Amino acid sequence: MSQGMATMFDSIRGIHALRTDWTIKVRVLRLWKAPPYPKNSPHSSLEMVLCDREGTKIGAHVKSPFAVKLLNVLKEGSVYVMSQFTVGSNSGNFRAAKHEFKLNFQFQTRIAQTDDDESIEKYGFEFLHASTIFAPDFDKDILVDVIGRLIHMSDVQQASSDPKTKRVNIQLEDQMKSKITITLWGSFVEQLLEYSRTHSDGAIVIAIQYCKIKEYGGLQHEELASPIIKNLTNPATHESPLEAAFAELPLSSIQDFYHARDSSLFVVLASVLKVNVDRGWFKVELMILDDSGTANVTIFDKDVEGFLGISAIDLRREHLQMPEKFDRFLGQMFVFKILVKTMNWNNSYSFTVQKMTSDHDLVEKFKRMAKAKLIDVGVVPNSLTTPGQTKAVTHLGLDARRLSFVGDNHSPSSSNACNGKRSHPDSPSDNSIHYENAKNGEATKKKLKDII
């Protein structure tokens, strides 16, 4: 590709939420089905990991109504030119990319397949040593890639007649001789057993992409999630007047604004990306951001004064370092109650803040609500959780639910990454060609040939 052609496309590395006119050329490294979003949709949503020629990766999400449109367009391994998507924050658990932001595909998003570009890597592996994953400052919400020699395999366990509940613990030894415990689920188990039976004459190396991290001896999955649900739904819990102001509405996302009826009310948890003070004497416009995208919302003087301690009117009247004062909004997270008004004559929306707070306890409560909503622990029975180790030393556990072997005749789309959730009941079988659900990773296994 010539230098002129290369500059036509934006770098993933530079993507942020303040622009909307991005055009990128990327390879779809991984593509998988996720639970329906919205929840009442009859169709699955889509998640994917994209990579550009610089090797930078970013996650992308397609809500269920738009996933139907793209299901037969997107294929793992193919290269596309993409534009007219929105940008949201890359927050929550089980993030397949480290990028600060992620992409959200809408009905108007443009996607065109193009010729393969050898300058864009095909698989995107980033293998980590156990010492890196064990580091205290390592973000355990990032999905990881590991490779190692198989040194131990436990007996197979199964919680019910459902084959998806079948699991086996294996232990890998990496290049630095560190050991990692991995739990394989569902179809992984049979594939591993079959491969082990037919390749018993040599060492086996397993490479796993996009694994979820657990710490045995620390917080277990059920210890992390279940109390959140109990605390949030306990009718005896006393609510402060501030909490009560937001309690009557469920937690929504910014993208819900754009599909709302006139005069709808929403509660969202979002951070401030930009401040526009040129909207009149009594109001200020904030650009707010969550993981679904951005919106410009109007706040009135009482809320400005409530947060800054001085009204916007007084700031303008006294010319008191207005930009510096308003900068206190930037990066701050708030719980907002927002009124959506629709203008039918020009098909536009206005978003007005009815109430907002940066109260630490309330923000933390809504963060927990958002995390519980993302994990969707309601569909993960405790019988599926892996028991913790009894030893005092902390072990690392990784979960995986889809793997393929060298020589398999599956298309790239049949081996997919993880989203940290259980497979949806209407997902295709293991023989499906496209977008198969995967609980926690993709693994490729082969015989040892001087890899370790």
Instruction: Please determine, for residue 2, whether its predicted confidence score (pLDDT) is greater than 70.
Output: no
Q: For all residues of the chain together, what is the average pLDDT?
A: 74
341 in Cβ contact with 263 (< 8 Å): yes
Q: pLDDT tens-digit profile of 178-215?
A: 888 888 888 888 888 888 888 878 888 888 888 888 76
Q: Does the domain spanning 3-114 belong to CATH 2.40.50.140?
A: yes
Cβ 401 vs Cβ 442: under 8 Å: no
pLDDT digits (tens, 9 = 90+) for 114-171: 999 999 999 889 999 888 888 888 888 888 899 999 999 899 888 888 888 889 899 9
pTM equals 0.63
The domain over range 130-218+385-447 is classified in CATH as 2.40.10.120: no
CA-closest candidate to residue 63, choices 270, 394, 293: 293
Task: Indicate the pLDDT class of residue 429, thresholds 50, 70 and 90.
Answer: very low
pLDDT at position 220, please? Answer: 28
- Do residues 393 and 217 make contact, with C-beta atoms less than 8 angstroms apart? yes
In this prediction, residue 11 carries a pLDDT of 95
Domains 3-114 and 130-218+385-447 belong to one CATH topology: yes
Q: What is the pLDDT of residue 401?
A: 41
Top-confidence residue, 360 or 449: 360
Q: How far does Cα 122 stand from its chain's mean position? A: 21
With cut-offs at 50, 70 and 90, classify the pLDDT of residue 432: very low
State residue 44 phi and psi, 5-degree precision.
-75, 160
pLDDT of residue 400 exceeding 70: no
- Highest-confidence segment of 60-64, 140-144, 227-231, 375-379: 60-64
Whole-number pLDDT of residue 313? 67
User: Cα separation of 378 and 386, whole Å?
Assistant: 17
Architecture of the domain delimited by 230-377: Beta Barrel (2.40)
Q: Taking 50 as the threshold, does the pLDDT of residue 218 lie above it? A: no
Hunting for tokens 């909207």 — which residue is that?
Answer: 279
Domain boundaries, the chain: 3-114, 130-218+385-447, 230-377
Pairwise CA distance, residues 323 & 305, whole Å: 15
Give the pLDDT of residue 398. 61
